[in-house]
Structure 1
Amino acid sequence: MAPDTNPSLRRTLTFPEVVISGVGVILGAGIYALIGEAAAVAGNAIWISFVLAALIASFTGLSYMELSSMFPGASAEYEYSRHPFGNLVAFIIGIMVILSGIVGAATVSLGFAGYFSGWTGAPALPVAVVLLVALCIILLSGIRQSAVFAIIFTLIEAGGLIGIIIIGLPYLGTVDYFAAPDGFPGIFAAAALIFFAYQGFEEIVKLSDETVRPEKTIPAALLVAIAITIILYIAVSLSVVSIGGYEAIAGSPNPFAEIAGQAFSGGYTLFTVIALFATANTALLMMLASSRILYGMAKTKTLPEVIAYVHPGRRTPMVAIVGAAIVSMFFLLPGNIRDVALIANFTLFITFIVINAAVITLRRTMPDVPRPYRVPGTVGRVPVPAVLGIVTCLFFLFQLDWQILLIGIVLLGGAAFFGWILERRKMAEDDKA
């Protein structure tokens, strides 16, 4: 028998393995970097902000599940939006996904710099730039993240969060957990900020081709992974504010180190090291993902082909990696981690609005396409969770400062203009052919 020249991926992942992988994907360094900024506006009620931010993840996660079951071999968000809305919208969403990773890397790099600067006194912005350069060099060298290292990285990050929970246990009940200096507006604003900590849940659907009975396993694992992360984040936020009230970490660039330093000798140094590891690792993975998406879109000629150039020796997408690093450095310029994180969240909110809208639209335009998984709670042909996903994304989108919205609109307009130019050029080439 002739060998299979195009073998399919092996379906070996079971429910527990997908849940663990999902928690690892969601659990990044966002909470290490942003909880101080969020506490400044949400106060002791920051735990409510984590619950509200989780609503977007839950509603939109269901939409990702239906779309991934319809197009299991597709290129994720680009393909999900191309079918209902066409090439231009798909291109815009592809750029938004790339920017979410690039700006996310800048955000986490500033988080790294906050901890490093608090430890050494070095200026934050140069530290963030040096980190991005170092990560770029690592990616160019051809390094491969193995599953073993990924698990170790996740355990260290999770271990730091569990450590904070343990430190705060003796203090539970010592503060008013509904105290919010800016009331509900502050809680909503904090939710719009710390949604960054949930970034990555949408990656779980990409395990579908390697999962046993994905139509049942992936949706259940996604919801369980989100639930575990929510519980962990809420426990961390309650523990942190219990130790000294939200004032102890409000606006702090290194909140966990500050709290640990108050709790026991050597705590500041220990949690600084953990946070440095967590933030550097998260920034590396975000740059890795963004560079590969850039490479993939260039390889299919959706972006200029030069971006798909691969170094002949290292076999890495050199132009895509360097380009992602340079753009990420550009987003360091605001210098304020809160503003940079909100720019990243703008790209996510736009993406998730389109993803939820795609589910609703495809129910009408492609009703006969098999859907091994369907978003529950349908009224007529309209899946209610997808509608709620759009509503919550829009609501939190308009919790952003007008300056952030303006920057986001410029990025959105730039992506639309660039996509229009490329589409016109492709049409002209097709006419000549």
Structure 2
Amino acid sequence: MTKAGTQSKPTSHDGADGPVRLKRALSWPLLTLYGLGVTLGAGIYVLVGATAAQAGLYAPFSFLIAAFVVAITALSYIELATRYPVSSGAAAYIEAGFDRRWLTIGAGLLIAISGMVSASTVAIGAGGYLSGLTGLPVPLLALLTVISMGLLAAWGISESVTAAAVITVIEIAGLLLVIGWTMAGPSQSIIETAQLLPSFKAAHWFGIVAASTLAFFAFIGFEDMASVAEEVKDPLKAYPRAVILTLLISTLLYTLTTAAVVMTIPLETLAVSSSPLLLVFANAPAFLREGFGLIAIVATVNGILIQIIMASRMLYGLADKGYLPKPLAVISKRTHTPILATAVVAGIIIALSQLFPIEILAQRTSQIVLFTFTLVNVALIRVKRSEKVPPTGCFSVPRFVPVLGAISSVMLLATGLL
């Protein structure tokens, strides 16, 4: 691991006689689709109703506030990822800033756990959707889904991310379908567009800010892009471009989708629905309604795949630095993926989805990520303070950016705990 204030050199692919390393195979378009796949996914497909229950008609503003908090921290991640383009991601950044072994290990494991808990929750949801189509038991379908995604993740980074990219395009098409159907379909708007603009009443903004912690969950994922930085071609150019595009596209789709839904579905109906976007197609032809249901299933499956990739790279990165057992850092000569780390992650996800009540843990995913955001921003502050001369060859942000990122993350974390 590099020390604070020095830049890590990108890992190159070793020859046949050297140790097998991760393969730099991801271009910026693939990295963008990877980011969109983990950022979009199940969150927006299930969170619109819960967000509207707290923010009412102003739910789109909750997503905008969440986007602002995420965007500030994203700039810190971009600088750190171009300084230290390694698979351990945030754990490497925290080590560079604090130089505390226990904090590095703890943060890395927390990030991996949050991904595995999220994936296990999504696996149960995917099993529920599939059970409705097949009649098979939810636990069995959740098990088969995780195994399938684990095998795909182990196949190869190019193959798994390409598959995720294709699925991501389908997810985006689903959200565009929601927006387009509310605008051009037979559904009539029940409110005027002007009613989406909140007044300056404190009660309105309290609900908007409170709901932003829920909306924040829908943006969780861009930080997972840091975990594949070691597998990106030219991370200095690719990573900033991919992260910025991911957040811009996600914010636009979330805001438009949420606005479309709250304008056409009564709030009392929307707030209690576990599949709120399906309500948009209540009066649609059967083929359209069923087609969108399949898209929702695909969205959940994609989330599992990308979380397996992220968590396995985190375990690999920590093991590669000697913080976890070395076998977790072994790379397959054939697939250039961390096979054992991938198997361990898939096994934990299966155990969580089959044996444990994970609802409370899933609700804490946002808090874990916000805590990590705070540590990452503070780490960048400490790295910058330790430098006499700013480094060259990496993306650089002004010092106020990580300060603002840390403050906004703490504020949103505190709001969610109230």
For the pair 1:365 / 2:369, whether they are aligned, the reply is no
2:348 to 320, 323, 344: 323
Say yes or no: does 1:174 pair with 2:191: yes
How far is 1:4 from its partner?
7.5
Report the equivalent of 1:33.
46
What is the aligned-residue RMSD (CA, Å)?
3.7
The equivalences for 1:373-388 within 5 A come to: 373-376=394-397, 378=398, 383-388=399-404
Residue 307 (structure 1) shift: 6.5
> Equivalents in 1 of 2:410, 2:101: separation in Å?
23
Match of 1:393 in 2: 409
What one-letter code is carried by the residue in structure 2 that aligns with 1:80? Answer: Y
In the TM superposition, 1:151-190 aligns within 5 A as 151-170=165-184, 171=188, 174-175=191-192, 176-178=195-197, 183-190=204-211
1:197 to 218, 226, 236: 218
Letter aligned with residue 322 of structure 1 = G
Which amino acid in 1 is paired with 2:54?
A: V
1:158, distance to aligned residue in structure 2 (A): 0.9
**Where does residue 150 of structure 1 map in the other structure?**
164
- How much does 1:95 deviate? 1.3
Give the unaligned 5+ runs of structure 1: 403-433
Q: Which residue of 2 aligns with 1:91?
A: 105
User: Structure 1 residues 44 and 262 mapped into 2: Cα distance closer, same or farther (>3 Å)?
Assistant: farther
**Alpha-carbon distance in 2 for matches of 1:96, 1:73:** 18
State the AA in 2 paired with 1:138. S
Q: Please say which of residues 352-361 and 177-186 is displaced more in the overlay.
A: 177-186
Following TM superposition, by how much is the alpha carbon of 1:247 offset from its aligned partner in structure 2, in angstroms?
A: 2.9
Letter in 2 for 1:218: Y
Q: Give the secondary structure class of the aligned counterpart of 1:399.
A: helix
> Conserved in 2, the CA contact under 8 Å of 1:69 and 1:371?
no
Residues of 1 paired with 2:374 and 2:40: CA distance? 23
Is residue 211–residue 218 contact of structure 1 (8 Å, CA) maintained in 2?
Answer: no
CA contact (8 A) 2:367 2:413 kept: yes
- Partner of 2:41: helix, strand, or coil? coil
Contact 1:102 1:325 in 2 (8 A): no
Q: 1:70 aligns with which of 56, 67, 83?
A: 83
Aligned to 2:117: 103
Q: Does 1:134 align with 2:144?
A: yes
Q: Tell me which amino acid in the other structure corresponds to 1:159.
A: A
Q: Secondary structure at the match of 1:251?
A: coil
> Offset of 1:10 from its aligned partner?
5.6
The C-alpha deviation readout for 1:334-359, integer Å capped at 9, x for no partner, is 3xxxx554311111001110111111
Percent identity of equivalent pairs: 29
Measured against aligned partners, the alpha-carbon deviations of 1:383-418 in whole angstroms (never above 9, x if no partner) come to: 11211111111111112246xxxxxxxxxxxxxxxx
Question: Residues 263 and 401 (structure 1 numbering): CA distance in 2 closer, same or farther, change over 3 Å?
Answer: farther
Q: Tell me how far apart the structure 2 counterparts of residues 224 and 140 of structure 1 sit (CA, whole Å).
A: 27
Q: 1:345 to 1:52 in 2, by over 3 A?
A: same
Structure 1 residues 258 and 122: CA distance shift in structure 2, 3 A: farther
Does structure 1 residue 80 correspond to structure 2 residue 93? yes
| Superposition deviation, residue 273 in structure 1 | 1.8
1:383-422 equivalences in 2 (<5 Å): 383-401=399-417
SS of residue in 1 equivalent to 2:412: helix
Please list, as runs of the form range in 1=range in 2, the aligned pairs for 1:55-66 lying within 5 A after superposition: 55-66=68-79
1:283 aligned onto 2:300: no
Give the counterpart letter for 2:191 in structure 1.
T
* CA positional deviation for 1:93: 0.9
Deviates more, 1:354-363 or 1:239-248: 239-248
The Cα shift of 1:284 comes to 3.2
Q: Quick one: distance in 2 between partners of 1:290 and 1:79? A: 14
Which residue number in structure 2 is paired with residue 218 of structure 1?
Answer: 239
3-state SS, counterpart of residue 59 of structure 1: helix
**Structure 1 residues 305 and 184 mapped into 2: Cα distance closer, same or farther (>3 Å)?**
same
1:234, CA displacement in angstroms? 0.6
> Deviation of residue 162 (structure 1)?
0.6
The alignment's TM-score, normalised by the length of structure 1, stands at 0.77
Measured after TM superposition, the shift of residue 77 of structure 1 is: 1.2
The runs of 5 or more residues in structure 2 that have no matched partner are 1-13
Which region of structure 1 is more displaced relative to structure 2, 68-77 or 190-199?
68-77
Q: For the structure 1 residues 371 and 71, does the alpha-carbon distance in structure 2 shift closer, same or farther, using more than 3 Å as the test?
A: farther
What is the Cα deviation at residue 305 of structure 1?
Answer: 6.0
1:273 matched to 2:294? The reply is yes
SS of equivalent to 1:303: coil
Aligned residues: 386
- State the TM-score, normalizing by the size of structure 2: 0.79
C-alpha distance in 1 between matches for 2:23 and 2:326: 28
Tell me, in whole angstroms, the C-alpha distance in 2 between the residues paired with 1:366 and 1:43. 47
Contact 2:114 2:365 in 1 (8 A): yes
